[in-house]
Amino acid sequence: MSDVSPSPQVLTRSLAVPQGAAAAALLIQPVLAQVAGDDAHPVSLSLDYGPALVPGQTVRVEAWVDRATRTIVFAQARVLAPDGALAVQASAVFRRVVPTNPAKEDGT
């Protein structure tokens, strides 16, 4: 199966952290889902934490599609502290909903 290569796009947001490092998952998930697309549903999410974030601190959240096929999207994201330090790195896999063609299912 060949990869479908969407144009490289990085979604970047600056957000205030509501509560320490655990909030990173709440910040990353919506951003990853947005870059994966409306028809994509999460299959897995992996987070690697760096230095702890300070509640109320403004961070930079970046997300992009690393690779995509017709049915699977591999996305990456990261949270950068105000000094540019990597606070959280995320990898996610999404499954795209592929509409079925009823005509093909019944052999017509």
- pLDDT tens for the 108 residues of the chain, in order: 334 444 445 666 776 676 555 666 777 788 899 999 999 999 999 988 888 887 778 888 889 999 999 999 999 999 888 899 998 899 999 999 887 766 655 555
Residue 18 has a pLDDT of 60
Residue 5 has a pLDDT of 40
CA distance 95 to 88: 23
Burial label for 27, CB within 10 Å (0-12, 13-18, 19+), is buried
Delineate the domains of the chain, giving CATH numbers in brackets: 10-98 (3.10.129.10)
Residue 23 has a pLDDT of 65
CA distance 8 to 71: 18
Residue 102 has a pLDDT of 60
CA distance 8 to 63: 11
